[in-house]
Structure 1
Amino acid sequence: MSGEARMVDTGNDDVTRLSGEIAGHLRLTLDELGAVRENVRRLLDGVHAEGRRPSRVDLGGIRGELQACLGRPGHPMDGVGVAAAVGYLADGDYWLEWWRHDRRGGLEFVAHSLSPRSDLFYDYSARNWFSAAAASGRTEIVGPYVDVGGTNAYTVTVSVPIDTDRGFAGIAGADIAVARYERLLLSAGCAAPVVLTNADLRVIASNRAEYLPGDLVRADGAWGSLDVAADVFPAGAAWKLFSPALP
């Protein structure tokens, strides 16, 4: 925010607690993705040690781990998966293993057409959640965006690159529904409006109907701000919690 940003007095403790809860969600997600990344790396490096290129069957064992991630109590993820770098596998340019919760509380495979010849081709390599981590070589958290072709709802995706002794192999990623953060903010009981944004000041979630996902928060000295989990973001790219002064 412009000028000397300050957190409003009303609900200060509540907003600080919210920041800690959201940071906890992100760190837990990164812990899960770190474990997935290490297992994929181990599988791929094992194949390379045999002197051959990996194929899709070599990564088949990762399915059970992805399902286990979504089945653990208290996890914040709504979907999790692995996407291979284009051309990395010997038996297909594209490979995507992604799972999410279905409407009945079970798990379902997220099916996409991965054939470039198909009218429904899903080129995940062009999606920001993949391309950003591939380009930077570091953890990226993108969104909010509408997950077109997936849940068709506002989503945030956490992506970590997978590197092997042969270079970039793909990403491990997790989807977090924006609705999850909306429920968190609404249940916190804050008297003042509270808005969670990304580094570009686009609204992720809020506890007021007038601040919708994707809206741009305008600079105003009456808003106080608090960085959220700054340690898991690149410098200057942290999420923020804003709390405007009450009338």
Structure 2
Amino acid sequence: MITVEQTDELHQCTQRLEAVLSTLFEQLNTLAAEVVTVWEALDAEGRKPTSKDLAFLQATIEARLLANDNYIHGTGVVLEPGELADQELFLEWFYRPSSGKIAPMMLNFNRQSESFYNYQGMPWFTRPKLTGEASVEGPFVDLYGTELYILAFSVPIFAKGHFVGVAAADIALHEFDQLLTRCLLRMKNEAFIINGEGRIVAANSANWFVGNIASRPAAARVHKLKPLSIEWSLVELPVPR
């Protein structure tokens, strides 16, 4: 029998988790809106943007990375090929390396190179482009970027209905897991957060390991987290921790 206390625990944890996700996506939408403002202004002038037109984003990005409540490892905007007059592939992206000093992300966009970084086929870029909605991909190892186990959050950028690119953020899973687990630990029963692929993102019990595939027992209570487009769910099992 589900008690009122258990119902309240699930409801409160769901609200806290959705608040965390909402804040993160609001920050990305703000970044996207700044890009749209520039694109529309340049379009009115009859001019195509260049990479230099995105330099102003650095202040916003660095402020986010330096915030006291920050758990973002890297963030910025990644553009649709052909959007700029001077670059085919381009991203305005900064991250926090192990030294702690914010640095620009330098990637190889030479198509002839073995280490060519082709973001066009990556889900965190293609899913927002195709669906027009927010996305979370992972956890996965960022082999071409930071080599960390990360979650990639992204939102599409549309200027006058035209896809421009995505505003995105990489979050080191070990940092985000601590944030999510603090909420889950307030629940008396075993619980975990699962992504759309069925992989565990965070859990409050050693019986469940992050990154593993987990089933959803029939007796479990499942609550889909907002935004629904990210396909994350909070699963509570009828088993005390």
Q: Give TM class, smaller chain.
A: 0.7 to 0.9
What residue number does 2:232 align with? 239
Look up the equivalent residue of 2:221 and give its one-letter code.
G
Look up the equivalent residue of 2:132 and give its one-letter code.
G
| Selected match of 1:209 from 206, 209, 213 | 206
Secondary structure (helix, strand or coil) at the match of 1:91 reads coil
Deviation at residue 59 of structure 1 after TM alignment: 1.2
Shift of the 209–151 alpha-carbon distance from structure 1 to 2, 3 Å rule, reads farther
- In the alignment of these two chains, the number of paired residues is 238
Alignment of 1:21-60 (within 5 A): 21-60=16-55
For normalisation by structure 2, the TM-score amounts to 0.87
Deviation at residue 107 of structure 1 after TM alignment: 1.9
What residue number does 1:227 align with? 224
What residue number does 1:218 align with? 215
Matched, 1:173 2:168: yes
Indicate the structure whose relative CO is greater, using CA pairs within 8 Å and at least 6 residues apart. 1
Secondary structure (helix, strand or coil) at the match of 2:24 reads helix
Partners of 1:19 and 1:176 lie apart in 2 by 20
What residue number does 1:3 align with? none
What residue number does 2:157 align with? 162
Shift of the 202–7 alpha-carbon distance from structure 1 to 2, 3 Å rule, reads farther
Report which stretch shifted further, 132-141 or 67-76: 67-76
Shift of the 56–189 alpha-carbon distance from structure 1 to 2, 3 Å rule, reads same
Deviation at residue 62 of structure 1 after TM alignment: 1.2
Deviation at residue 186 of structure 1 after TM alignment: 4.1
Cα-Cα RMSD: 2.4
Matched, 1:106 2:96: no
Per-residue CA distance 1:134-178 (angstroms, 9 max, x = gap): 111222222222222223333222211111238211111112232
Secondary structure (helix, strand or coil) at the match of 1:175 reads strand
Shift of the 145–9 alpha-carbon distance from structure 1 to 2, 3 Å rule, reads farther
Partners of 1:89 and 1:221 lie apart in 2 by 51
Q: Is the 8 A contact 1:198 1:240 kept in 2?
A: yes
Per-residue CA distance 1:41-96 (angstroms, 9 max, x = gap): 11122222222211111111111111112223324433211001011111111001
Q: Structure 1: which 5+ residue stretches go unaligned?
A: 1-5
Report which stretch shifted further, 184-193 or 212-221: 184-193
Shift of the 138–219 alpha-carbon distance from structure 1 to 2, 3 Å rule, reads closer
Partners of 1:243 and 1:63 lie apart in 2 by 41
Q: Structure 2: which 5+ residue stretches go unaligned?
A: none
Look up the equivalent residue of 2:130 and give its one-letter code.
A
Look up the equivalent residue of 2:199 and give its one-letter code.
R
Look up the equivalent residue of 2:76 and give its one-letter code.
G
Report which stretch shifted further, 10-19 or 195-204: 10-19
